[in-house]
Structure 1
Amino acid sequence: MTTIIRSPSSTYPGWIYDGSPIEDTFGDGERAVEFLRRLRHPKSGLPKKAFQLDPWLERIIRRIYGPRNPNDGTRIVQRVTLLLPRGNRKTSTAAALALLHTIGPERVPHGEAIFAALDRTQASIAFLEAAGIVRADPRIARAVKIYDAHNSAKKIVFTKDRATLEVISGEGGRVHGRTPSFVLADEIHLWPNGDLYEALSTGLDKSDESLLVIATTAGRGNENIAWRLIEDARKIARGDVDDPTHLPILFEADPKADWEDEALWLAVNPGMEFGYPPIKKMRDAAKRAERSAMERESFRQLRLNMWAENSESPFVDMAVYDAGAAPIDLDALAGKPCWLGVDMSTTTDLSAVVACFRDDDGIFTVLPHLFCPGDNLRARADRDKVPYPTWAEEGFITATPGNVIDYRAVEQHIRTLAERYEVREIAFDPAYANPVMSPLLDDGFPAITMRQGWVTQSPALNELERAIVSGNFRHGAHPVLRWCFSNVAIHTDSAGNRTMHKGKSTDRIDGAVATWMALSRAAAHETRTSIYENPAITADDLVW
């Protein structure tokens, strides 16, 4: 077995591999293991289709079910958080655990085992796995009734004492009043809110012998129920919190780790040394990830459990974006031609001005600046969970006096840029542009409006993506711009056209929008291969 070494502060479950003794107070751990070994799986390659209980999984089973309170015999572990990358037979494991509580030694007469997921389709995946295991053994099949007709409630009933395994999904209000003995919360990173989780977890609290298993891959962002639950498990895994009732099993890679390192793949995919997921499939996926930011984000999130940035449909890999963080020599840009992108907002949100330069080597350099109202800056920071006051003190944001943005500050910033650099063009998002754009036009500044539909945006995003991925995009580690890019979600229509939008209603992407506008105009004028060559673009899309 490959030796896996982690620092003492890591959340990695090193106990699975260290051979340390696992308490089995009354032999319940051994009984659970023996039960799983006697199961059959229709896809198993072992003799008699035996359920494949590999050493890493056996250690987990013993750790969940072995330790008991010596006074009353109740199980110590009441919650398991299993963060497991895709391809490590999480579904089979979940199905086997549910059957342990439905037909096995952990069942409770008339007990309720529940598969809970975002929707019935997702929940049915684990249920069908359990039904397949049941049907693979005629002895078990005779002892239960399976209800799995199309568009009907999915349920397995152990006829002897009416213990059940059932599928549940949807809004939490539907399941209040239930008293489950076992709950699998499947792929909780997909759950839109905590309603269902709250309903089921409060039902579990009614019994001393209940067990909650959260089985999921990594998710995105930190404003969701999954992040809060995983972060709580991390605190226990690190030893920051002492809670023996909660067992964290977190197979996750550090987001800063080298995602192409095969030793890392092996470390966070416990089934890989036993052939799942197959190393060839991982290598094929990694090759695709080299060519595509979207594939790379998927590989990091789903195959290595690297918790992703805010956006659910990211534009670029933020690690690739960060390659352009080297300091920018402002003196070297003095007098150089540049193109401005201006994303004006309502008077109470962020507005952005981005200047974009392009050198003879095809490298784009951007100088962003953002504006927001100065009043209640700390309240805004609490709302968006970013350090607005610090950013304002360090000069990355101008917080104008009052509770609305002073558009005159935006106008003056553009005029200052024009004094320092050769401003060739100023592209405005038409929304809210007039208060700033009109006085500039009156004074002869080269201002245009640039509409935000896919016709202009999709080719511009292609240009921006090429610059970032090829290492030809320099941003000087501007923290507000990075935050905006991490918030970007991409909508792709059926024809493959892409547009930016906010990942959540509270996300700010103004800096990223102003960036694609500025860079696309710089690319158009410098290369002479512009978006005007797209026959779908009309004069209505770029208004002078």
Structure 2
Amino acid sequence: MPDSSNKIDWGDVHPTNRYAAEIVMGLRPSCEMERLACQRHLDDLQRQATEDFPYVFDESRADRIFEWFERCCRHVRGPFSGQLIELLPFQKFDLGAVFGWVHMETGKRRFIRAFHMRARGNVKSTEMSGIALYGMLGDCIYPPGNPDLKRYEDSPEVECAAVDRTQAKRVWSDAKKMGENSPDISKRLVIKKTYIEHRTRGGFLRPLSKDTKNKDSGAPCIVIIDEYHAHPTSEIVDVSFSGFGKRLQSLMQIISTAGKDAENNPCKREYDDLCKMMRGEIKMQETSFVMIREIDKDDDPHDESIWIKANPVLQEDNEYSRTLLAQIRAEHDDAFDKNNPSKIREFLTKRVNRWQSDSENKYMSGIMDKWKELAIPRNDFLELVKGQKNWTGLDLSKTTDLTADGFVFRLDDGRFAVTAHGFIPAESAMRHEHTDRVPYKQWAKEGWCTLTEGAVTDYRYIRSHLHEMEDFEKWILQEICYDGWNATHFAQELENEGRIMIEIPQYMKNLSAPTKFFRELVLQGQLVHDGSPLLDWCLSNAVEITDSSGNIKLSKKHKDDSQRIDLIAALINAMARAMLNEDKSSVYETRDVRAI
């Protein structure tokens, strides 16, 4: 990039403030999120040390982290291996902002959580390794501008966390090697094959993953969450964050590239919330730092000139940046010239930080937006189907988990209307909100699901819901279609009430036709629904499995129960009968057949 900044006399402007100004003034290429982050910093400088904003930007605290890197830390790989690190301008902004903003009276760090996204190859691991070592040796508190009153933590605890132990040890191993290569660091730390501790203050620097025992027993000073996009749940983040409050100024550094499962990824949900926050759509969290570097929504990923937005290293002209640009170009050409879907997805997520909406085998891959366009307001939906006949589907899961009934209507204009309702035990709602990362209690308040009393789902609530739909909405439940697993007794009870019960065997050859038909209705715009966020979530979770004959059925992505599909499963059971022509339907009724 041409150095337009040399036309401006920056004088003694601090590097953090200078970078922010250059971005906001358009002197450096940037995406929307980076501009908003830099504008936020400049705005905060104007309102610092006020009653409503009791923070100040302490340049001495920012300079302290800069000096740590440039005097103590050495590169551990690449063309600069063994050389002292020279921080790039974008790093001086990120590090300066995170470590330089402090409370104006106590000197405690303002930010307790920092979210960083940038593309692969932009020295994320090196930077995080240096921060980990800083947490063991250099991190301290002192009143703004008064370094003589430094306070250090006794027994510092630094966690290098990732989805698995191998990834967690990546940052830890880099920190270990960085410490061993630095005389200043190695003389103050005990660095062994399996652990790192401070020689006089104790503590530890350790890798942390889901396999680590006693994850929730610490009092971390600094936690580094590496490649958050790869985490199927937010467990590590939540457990680590729950240990805050025991230290003077704990800090969580979350760093990641974009991922490939945007519908259900905890990193993507945090990304979405933070983007809304930075745009002013939701309340600003003053203790959260956000720096997202990506190509913008309308950018052309084939345009090399915009790659710099996600790859800030390309702002500089050196051997490493030239090598990185050549590699990005090679991966782009290899993916798009061969039209290889998996390589294209890899390029978009890792090289330009563009989230991919779903995985390749997702049932609604590429058409979730189309599905959402078919929603109408709930009151309009209820008016549309009032007094109509429907086919009811049941999916009775484990009694401690989500259970569902679903309803399929055939409208006079040829369209189908669908809705579904969930049931989950109230006692386990909190636990499931934690594991599933969805707001069951809020959805219950809004009427999308029912929290049943006790620790297990009481199927009487489902029976009551069926009666309610008949009594208040005047729905005609002509058949109830169910998965026979774990449902024999309940089905018998409903049959004793005079219900027509149809068991839907859960074989692929039976479920393939209604599963394909449901999706075709969405593609053709021949379906309408009431916009249930719980149904949206279940639908986005569903993946399809295929046999050698091309038959499909729905499944969850993982064996665990964190990504549920119960509501769409109930609808597919109902659709198995609703899609039949009336003459075919009458055959089953005439023969008194109770299974298809």
Aligned residue number for residue 292 of structure 2: 251
Q: Distance in 2 between matches of 1:281 and 1:179?
A: 42
Matched AA of 1:95: S
- Asked if 1:183 corresponds to 2:238, the answer is no
Aligned partner of 1:487 among 538, 556, 559: 538
| Structure 1 alignment gaps of length 5 or more | 393-401, 529-540
Distance 1:182 1:242 in 2: 19
| Residue 527 of structure 2, aligned match among 472, 475, 479 | 475
Amino acid at match of 1:99: L
The CA distance in 2 between the partners of 1:321 and 1:52, in whole Å, is: 50
Partner of 1:133: 178
Letter in 1 for 2:443: V
Q: Deviations over 1:193-242 (max 9, x none)?
A: 77732553133x2x35x544344568978998996899599769849457
**Cα–Cα, structure 1 residues 79 and 344, in superposed 2: closer, same or farther, change >3 Å?**
closer
**What letter matches 1:351 in structure 2?**
D
Give the letter aligned to residue 61 of structure 1: L
Match of 2:505 in 1: 451
One-letter amino acid matched to 2:112: R
Higher mean displacement: 94-103 or 105-114: 105-114
SS in 1 for 2:243: helix
2:555 aligned with 1:500? yes
Corresponding position: 1:146 with 2:200: no
- Give 1:93-108 correspondences, 5 Å limit: 93-102=127-136
C-alpha distance 523-156 of structure 1, shift in aligned 2 (>3 A): same
Unaligned runs of 5+ in 2: 1-27, 47-55, 141-151, 316-323, 431-437, 450-459, 585-592
Offset from partner CA, 1:371-392 (integer Å, 9 cap, x none): 689xx9xx99985422666679
Mark the CA change 1:195 to 1:413 in structure 2 (over 3 Å): closer, same or farther. closer
Task: Describe the superposition over 1:369-419 as per-residue Cα deviations: whole angstroms up to 9, x where unpaired.
Answer: 45689xx9xx99985422666679xxxxxxxxx95534567789999779x
Which of the residues 77, 80, 90 maps onto 1:56? Answer: 90
Does residue 543 of the first structure (1) align with residue 592 of the second (2)?
no
* Matched residue, 2:214: 174
TM-score by length of structure 1 reads 0.62
State the AA in 1 paired with 2:196: I
After superposition, the Cα gap between the structure-2 partners of 1:434 and 1:270, relative to the gap in structure 1 and judged at 3 Å, is farther
Secondary structure of 1:319's counterpart equals helix
The superposition leaves residues 245-284 of structure 1 with CA deviations (integer Å, 9 ceiling, x where unpaired) of x242142889xx9587549986973547455893665798
1:192 aligns with 2:219: no
Pick aligned residue for 2:371 from 321, 344, 348: 321
Q: Give the superposition deviation at 1:304.
A: 3.8
2:554 is matched by which residue type in structure 1?
T
Q: CA 1:282–1:366 in 2, change beyond 3 Å: closer, same or farther?
A: farther
Write the deviation string for residues 17-51 of structure 1: whole angstroms up to 9, x where unpaired. Answer: 97998976363322422432453333333486564
Offset of residue 354 of structure 1: 1.2
- Aligned pair in 2 of structure 1 residues 183, 169: CA closer, same or farther (>3 Å)? same
1:91·1:129 contact (CA, 8 Å) conserved in 2? yes
Q: What is the Cα deviation at residue 485 of structure 1?
A: 3.5
1:213 corresponding residue in structure 2: 253
Instruction: Name which of structure 1's ranges 219-228 and 93-102 shifts more when overlaid on structure 2.
Output: 219-228
Matched-pair contact (CA < 8 Å) for 1:103–1:163: no
Aligned to 1:452, the other structure's residue is in SS state coil
Report the counterpart of residue 463 of structure 2 in structure 1.
Answer: 405
Matched letter for residue 157 of structure 2: E
**What letter is aligned with 1:213?**
Q
Amino acid of the residue matched to residue 386 of structure 1?
Answer: W
Which whole-Å CA distance do the structure 2 matches of 1:498 and 1:438 have between them? 31
**Share of identical aligned residues, percent?**
15
Q: Partner amino acid for 2:133?
A: L
**Matched residue SS, 1:201:** coil
Q: Return closer, same or farther for 1:43/1:522 CA change in 2, 3 Å cut-off.
A: farther
Contact 1:358 1:365 in 2 (8 A): yes
Write the distance in 1 (CA, Å) between the matches of 2:91 and 2:40.
Answer: 8
TM-score normalised per structure 2: 0.57
Deviation for aligned residue 1:438: 8.1
What corresponds to 1:353 in structure 2?
407
Q: Could you tell me which amino acid in structure 2 is paired with residue 451 of structure 1?
A: P
* Structure-1 residue corresponding to 2:442: 385
- Counterpart-to-counterpart distance in 1, 2:90 and 2:160: 23
Distance 1:500 1:286, change over 3 A: farther
1:98 is displaced (CA, Å) by 1.0
Q: Give the equivalent residue in structure 2 for 1:399.
A: none
